[in-house]
Amino acid sequence: MQYPQLEAFSGGDGLIRVVGHRGARGIMPGNTMEGFAFTLACGVRLLEFDVAMTRDNVPVITHNHSLTRSIVRDQNGHWLREEAKVSDLDWADLAQLDVGGLDGNSAYGQRFPDQAFLYGARIPQLRDLCQLVAAPGFEDVHLMLEIKSDPEKMQDATARSAIARAVVAEVRARGLSERTLMHSFDWNLLAECALIAPEMPTSFLTQLPRNAADIGEDSANRACPDLTAPGVSVPDLVAEAGGALWCPHYLDVTAQDLARARALDLRVAVWTVNEVADIDRMIGLGVDAIVSDYPGLVQRRLLAHGLTWSQPPNASQRDNTLGLRRCYPCACWPADVNPASQKSSSVSSRSLSAEPADRASIRQREVHSDSIDETVKTK
């Protein structure tokens, strides 16, 4: 079967695609509408993100199966004390939470010291992102939609079907089937997706056991099949399972693997590549796409190698990029520190009386706002 969406994830002469991991997690809060808007404004048109299901069957964009205290604050601005499972909560419970920053004292927070700290960023529903990219001017945006498998329900065919059907319904409702890949570590779940939505290609995530899960992340090992048996060719397993794209951990892929994937007509996107030396190595291998928390860094390395990641935006897309800055300002700013209402000074009486750490966060948001404006000016 021919899949039109695969072209957006395919490299070529002078071309390697850039995929924003959870938006641009190294710079902006991951899996937030603010982060996605920032990534699109930077000219990155491929978005990777994670979807889980609430107790009342609402597909939401979040990575871990439980709310992580180093990421999530309650309605009073306090870091969570208990890490409740997403599947044990209703959408109304999640809608009150703030995921706009990281606890800098946590091990996870220390992994991303450059991530902006926002106030009022919420866990999005899947439909929020679908609605954004279905708007005029975003016709070139494609989705690498990772469905998360609940570890306690991995063998439950009914639960597997329920989340697949809910996700597919949201994508189809916005007419995004031809711009979406179904992406997961759970190969059984991908088989279900292929059955329910044959028009959407499947993308198979893999990670060998020797590369442990990162701090603060749910492990993928329980969802991923055993790839360590002697003589196993992972690209062959992916092709036999009906995959159109293979997404290995960047430390696992070799030139031999890549050549075999090419012979099997598989696209290859590597995750999650954040260091210059690793990005350069992936460029040297000639992968189709690089998934990164720092998509701007990947852009810069591609340019340094004389490569690009996409075609230049047309006038409609440039106009839409300008609109993003106006669409998502308020969640990035406390109500009394709103740049749209403060022309002469972006520092309010609240910021002057804040604790030093709060002033630093406010200044970080000012710098972030200026950087977005400069990005838009250069388009």
pLDDT tens for each residue of 2-22 = 999 999 999 999 999 999 999
- Domain's final residue, options 283, 304, 325: 304
Q: Which contiguous run of DSSP H or E holds residue 196?
A: helix 187-196
Q: How far is 186 from 151, CA to CA, in rounded Å?
A: 10
- Domain's final residue, options 265, 289, 304: 304
Count: domains in the chain: 2
**CATH for 212:** 3.20.20.190
Q: How many CB atoms lie within 10 A of CB 231?
A: 4
Q: How many CB atoms lie within 10 A of CB 209?
A: 11
Q: How far is 183 from 166, CA to CA, in rounded Å?
A: 15
For residue 285, give Cα distances in angstroms to 243, 269, 375. Answer: 21, 11, 30
Burial class of 347 by CB neighbour count within 10 A (0 to 12, 13 to 18, 19+) = middle
Q: How far is 198 from 177, CA to CA, in rounded Å?
A: 10
Nearest to 368 by CA among 98, 32, 34: 34
Q: Do 219 and 344 fall into the same domain?
A: no
pLDDT tens for each residue of 153-193 = 888 999 999 999 999 999 999 999 999 999 999 999 999 99
pLDDT tens for each residue of 190-220 = 999 999 999 999 999 999 987 767 777 876 6
Given a contact cutoff of 8 angstroms between Cβ atoms, the answer to whether 52 and 60 are in contact is yes
322 in a structural domain: no
Q: Do 87 and 200 fall into the same domain?
A: yes
Average pLDDT in the chain: 86
